A = this chain, B = another copy of it.
Amino acid sequence: MNVKRIRTMGLVAVAAIVLAACGNLKNSSFGSTSSSTTTTGTKTTTTTGTADSEFYQGVIKNGRYRTSKSRGVVVSQNDNVMNLKSFESGLLDVSKKVFPTSKYVFQEGQYLSSSTVENWLGRKSSSNSEGLNPENNGKKDPNTRNPIYLQQLEEQDYMVQNGSKLSLGGVTIGLGMNSVDYYTKVEYGATYETNISTTELTAQGKKMANTVLQRLRQRSALKNVPIVLALYKQSSNDSLVGGDMIAYAVSKNGSTSISNWTSLNWKNYVFPATSESKNSGANSNDESDFSQFKSHVQNFFPNLSGVTANAHYKDKSLSKLSVNITTKFYSETEIISFTQYLATAAKRYLPSGVPVEITVKSANGDIQSFLARTAKGSSYYTHVFSDQGDD
């Protein structure tokens, strides 16, 4: 209890120092990276500031956010946008194990360019010797063709602040591995699927991670920094949740190969379970808590289209619950009263000790209200949106 309080105070103190430094960091250097912002005037590096030790601060240079060098590559790789979001937030969560938010500042990847990432994501071929995916063996059968194992790759940089300078403190590389590879036999033809077992995608991912590590170590700026390699299993395109982080490893002291992987048992489920998603790994108490909440809420108001939740598990324990409620409300007073009721019902029925977010949306997707509680909090923060038009 006391230890926790002291630790929290420490984080606050650190945050205050970093925030105090905002706007004062001039002429910072970032190792060998060049700035993508205009170079007229004095270069000024600051951080975004953070209200919460749960998040990293981000790097601002000359008043502009430092976007990724490979920005834009990732989006075309994901038909299921949940895979993009959960891949990125999963990478942040893995990184927090190695690079604590109190000591490190987040920077979008600055070392791998778009063309590098595109080449690495490609198949190996005579024109692309760097392709990490296997060469096309010419076969079209789901089980004999060489599938695309690696679907997305992302670099995240973690900076340390020394006086007025930010320097690279570590890098995280995430590899998003397909559990299903979607392909066509002819251009614009029907879509076929090659299923890839978790065992196989994990083995392929570890092999590719070693190749990536060797390539990174050849760059002078990355020769000695800690590099985290993380494997993510993509969910299928029809999944309602994103995929899961499955393993990570840390390369220190400039090592060029990794054998020591830590498995991660992180899973996402949809509540309530459907016939297709049995949620076998979810805790049945959490599911029945949610069912109780759902039935009370649906009884409370006649015009609800849906009450579902995304449940995130780490090592078989619920780590976060995101509840989505769709309404057919149009009345402001109904939304206010419903939101008040949700705060009471959520407190009574939903699992405690984990962060919960609840969004209330109209049938056409406009947000109507929002509630959230932190893991340690007992009451819900509530907000009713009054200025969100339906146009």
- Which A residues contact B (CB, under 8 angstroms)? 22, 48-52, 55-58, 60, 63-65, 67-68, 71, 74-75, 81-82, 84-86, 88-89, 92, 106, 108, 156, 240, 296, 299-302, 310, 322, 324, 330-334, 336-338, 340-341, 343-344, 357, 359, 365-367, 370, 372, 379-391
CA distance A75 to B365 in the complex (A): 18
In the assembled complex, the Cα of A116 lies from the Cα of B76 at a distance in Å of 56
A108 to B367, CA, bound (A): 22
Cα distance, A299 to B385, chains bound together (Å):
27
B88 touches A22 (CB 8 A): no
Which residue of the partner chain B has the closest CB to A372? B383
Contact: B330 with A84, CB < 8 Å? yes
B residues in contact with A332, CB < 8 Å: 84-85, 88-89, 92
Are B302 and A67 in touch, CB under 8 angstroms? yes
Nearest 4 CB-CB pairings of A with B: A58-B337, A88-B332, A48-B340, A322-B387
Q: What's the least CB distance linking A46 to chain B, in Å?
A: 9
Contact of A51 with B334 at beta-carbon distance under 8 Å, contacts A383-B372, A385-B359 already known: no
Among B52, B88, B301, the residue within 8 A (CB) of A64 is B301
**Which single residue of chain B is at the shortest CB-CB distance from A63?**
B299
| A38–chain B nearest beta-carbon distance, Å | 11
* Nearest-Cβ distance from residue A326 to partner chain B, whole angstroms: 12
Chain B nearest Cβ from A50, distance in angstroms: 5
Contact of A386 (CB < 8 Å), options: B89, B344, B367: B89
- Bound-complex Cα distance A382 to B82 (A): 21
**CA of A334 to CA of B52, assembled, Å:** 16
The answer to whether B65 and A322 touch across the interface, beta carbons within 8 angstroms, is no
Report Cα–Cα, A301/B390, bound state, in Å. Answer: 27
| Min distance, Cβ A67 to any Cβ of chain B, angstroms | 7
| Total copies of the chain | 2
Docked Cα-Cα span, A58 to B344, in Å, equals: 12
Judge whether A296 and B367 touch: CB under 8 Å.
Answer: no
Q: Complex formed: what's the CA distance from A330 to B78 in Å?
A: 11
Which residues from B are CB-within-8-Å of A372? Answer: 383
Task: Find A382's partner among B51, B57, B386 (CB 8 Å cutoff).
Answer: B51
Given A60-B341, A108-B337, A359-B388, output 8 extra A-B contacts at Cβ < 8 Å: A51-B340, A56-B336, A65-B301, A67-B302, A92-B336, A106-B336, A108-B331, A381-B383
Selected contact of A365 from candidates B57, B63, B365, CB within 8 Å = B365
Q: Across the two chains, which residue of chain B brings its CB closest to A342?
A: B48
CB distance from A157 to the nearest CB of B (A): 11
Q: Which residue of B lies closest to A344 (CB)?
A: B49
Q: Which residues of B contact A388 (CB under 8 A)?
A: 359
CA distance A60 to B390 in the complex (A): 28
Residue of B nearest to A86 (CB): B386
Contact sample, A vs B, 25 pairs, CB 8 Å cutoff: A48-B341, A48-B344, A49-B341, A51-B340, A51-B343, A55-B340, A58-B333, A63-B299, A64-B299, A64-B301, A65-B300, A65-B337, A74-B331, A75-B330, A81-B330, A81-B390, A82-B387, A89-B332, A92-B333, A106-B336, A108-B331, A357-B387, A359-B385, A370-B383, A372-B383
**Complex contact B379–A71 (CB within 8 A):** no
Q: Give min CB distance, A104 to chain B, whole Å.
A: 13
Chain B residues, Cβ within 8 Å of A390: 81
Asked if A387 and B65 sit within 8 Å, CB to CB, the answer is no
Bound CA span A26–B22, Å: 58
Cα–Cα distance between A391 and B68 once the two chains are bound (Å): 25
Q: Which residues of B contact A302 (CB under 8 A)?
A: 64, 67
Partner of A381, one of B57, B68, B301, B381: B381
